[in-house]
Amino acid sequence: MNNGDLAILNCSDGDTRLSFNSDVPDEVARAKVIVEDMLKRGYCISIVVGDKMERVKAFDATKNEYVIDAPDPEAPAKRRGGRRKGVPTKSTRAYAVAPTAGGGLGVRAFPLRRSQLAKDTR
């Protein structure tokens, strides 16, 4: 039994967990839809790789892997993006933080300005 496990922090729903068996294709397909939707909505999904946290860029359902940018040590400091690397879901601790809980780096949690909230829209 190979389990993928993703802990999710969300202010409105509280802490939840997405678990799936990577040997069952339907569960992997469901996890792929959920993880890709979370990434589109601005969630910050991070995994533990060695002793560091890495940000997930995508989910590969065919290989049951989280996709991250692996840094290229030979690249100049300004261009440390690196290549894409897959990390197996079954051996990885993963955490997701909703944009409203501070997880959306560069993504606005609320698209309205404070001045717009005060306006009467009747």
Q: Are 83 and 68 in contact (CB under 8 A)?
A: no
Average pLDDT over residues 15-33: 86
Residue 77 pLDDT:
55
Give me the residue spans of the domains in the chain.
3-118
What are the pLDDT digits (tens) for 100-122? 765 555 444 444 444 444 444 44
**Closest CA relative to residue 49, chosen from 5, 4, 94:** 94
What are the pLDDT digits (tens) for 62-102? 888 899 887 666 665 555 556 788 888 887 889 898 877 65
Residue 111 pLDDT:
44
